[in-house]
Structure 1
Amino acid sequence: MSDATRPLRSVLYIPGSKTRALDKARGLPADAIIFDLEDAVTPEEKIAARTTLADALATGGYGARLKVVRINGLDTPWGNDDAAAVAKMGADAVLLPKVDCPADLDALAQVTGGLPIWAMMETPRSMLNAPAIAAHRLLSGMVMGTNDLAKDLQVRYRSDRLPLMTGLGLCVLAAKAENIAIIDGVYNAFKDEDGLRAECEQGRDMGFDGKTLIHPAQLEIANQAFSPSDAEVDLARRQIAAFDTASAEGQGVAVVDGRIVENLHVASARETLAKLEAIARLSTE
C-alpha cells in the first residue's frame, strides 16, 4: 500500500522498552504504531530499549501497520545512537521530537540516510517554520505534540482547543501543501470516550489524517471518527453516478439532494471511496 493511500486514522504510541506491550501491539487494530524511545522510556532504560525494540521489529508480525520509531532528540545523550540504531531496524520512518527548522531534519538525515522522516511539531518555532519543515525532501509526516506546545505557549486547557488553533491550522496547511501526512495530538484522558470522540471529530473536520493515541482503548473511537461514514459513502456514490449521467448528456454539472455537483465534488467523492477501499485492504493485510 502506497503512502498516498495508506490510512492513518489511529497512530498508537508503544513504549520501545516494554516487551509485553510490543508483543500486544501485533494484534491491535492500529493503522500505525509509533515505537517510542523518548518520553515513554526512562533514562535508565533508554540504551537497553534500542535492543528490545530492534529484536521486536526483527521478529515482525506487525502486518501492514506503518512502523515509526520516535527517537530522543539529537541534543540529548541518546539521540545520535538512537538514530544510528533506527537506521538498521527496518522501520518505515523515524520520528524526530521538537523539530524547530529544516536544519534539524538535515542533521538527522546525516545519520539515518534516506529513511523517511516524521517531525514532531510541538514548539512555537516549529509552528512558525511549518511550511519549510513540511517541504523537506525526506519528510513524509508531521505529528502534533499538543502537550508540549500548550506548555510552551502557557495556555490553559480548553475542550475546544481554541488556544492551539493557530498552530494546528498552520501545520495542517503546511502538510496539505506538500501532500504529506498530518496527525493530530494525543487526548490525555484516555477513559473519557465522549471527549476523545469530540476531539477526533474536530481534528477530522480540520483536515487531520488521524490521531495519535496513548492507550489501546482509544483505537475504536479514532478508527471510526476518521473513517468515511455510511452517509458519506452513500452520498459519494450518488454524486459520482449523477455526474457521470450529466456528463453523458453533455452537462457540466449535476444536482444531488438539491446541491450542485461539479468536478471538485466528484474528486472528493472518489477520494472518499478510495479511502474506504484502503481501509478494507488494511484490515486484510
Structure 2
Amino acid sequence: MDGCVTTSDGVRLHVESRGEGPPILFVAGYTATAASWAFQADSVVAAGYRAVILDRRWHGESDRPAHGHRIARHAADVREVIGALDLERPLLVGASMGASVCWSCLDIFGCAAVRGMIGIDQTPKMVNADGWPFGFYGLDETNLGTFFAEGVPPTGRGRPLEASMAAAIALQQRVGEARLSDPITPDTRALLDDHARQDWRDVIAVADVPMLLIAGQDSQLWPADHAPAAVASSRRARAALIADCGHAANIDRPEAVSDLIITFARGI
C-alpha cells in the first residue's frame, strides 16, 4: 500500500507499507528511493514483519521543497512518520545517509519510540582525523568545504562497479519501471554537506537501544573497520561484516542483508 504523510512544515512524504506484524521502517541513503529496499521488504514481510519504506524529502516520490536540507529535519520527518502511521516501536533500518538520519532521530527524540536500529555501511564520522582513520577516503578538515562540490566523488577504492552490475540488474527487474535513485542536483548539496559534518560516535555509545552496524567489506567510500571501531564503546551495539560487498550492501548482497535484519529483529 502506498500513501503519504504530511510533515509539520507542509512536506508530503511518500511512504510504502507492506505486510503485517512488528514494523520495520526503512530509510534509504542519499538519492536512493524506496524501491531500493524491494528485496529486503520482500524478505521481512515473508518473515512476519511489516515493511514501512520512506522516501525522504527530495527523494523518490516525495515532495521537493526548498527548505529542510539538514539531517536533523530528515530525522524529524522520520519521527513524524512514526507518529502519523501509529507505528509501535519500529526497528529503524538506515542505509548510508539513512543511517545518519536514524542516529539523529535517536539523538533528538530519544530511544523510547523505537525497538532498535540497524545502520548499513555508514561510518559515524565521515571526516578523517587523528585517532579516526575510518572516514570517507580522502576527506579531512582541510578539504571539507569543497570535497562534495560536484556530488560524491569516486575514490578508486573497494568493489569494482562491474562486480555489482548483476545484482543491480536483478533489483531493477524486480521493481520494474520504478527508479532506484534520483540524479544528484545542486539542490541537495547542503544536505550532503551537513551529513558529512556529523559525528555520531557519542550517540552510538550512549543509545539505550539494541543497534547493529553492518559494513560492506569492499565499501567504495570508507574502511569496513568503521563498524567495529564505532561499537567499541557501546554496551548495546555490535558490528557485522558482509564479504564480497560494496557500499550499496542491500543491492550487492540482498539476501545477506535481509538475513541480518531478520535475525537482529528476532533477537530484540
Q: Which TM class, normalised by the smaller chain length?
A: 0.3 to 0.5
Higher relative contact order (CA 8 A, sep 6+): 2
Compare the two structures and name the one with the higher helix fraction: 1
Q: Choose 1 or 2 for highest CA Rg.
A: 1
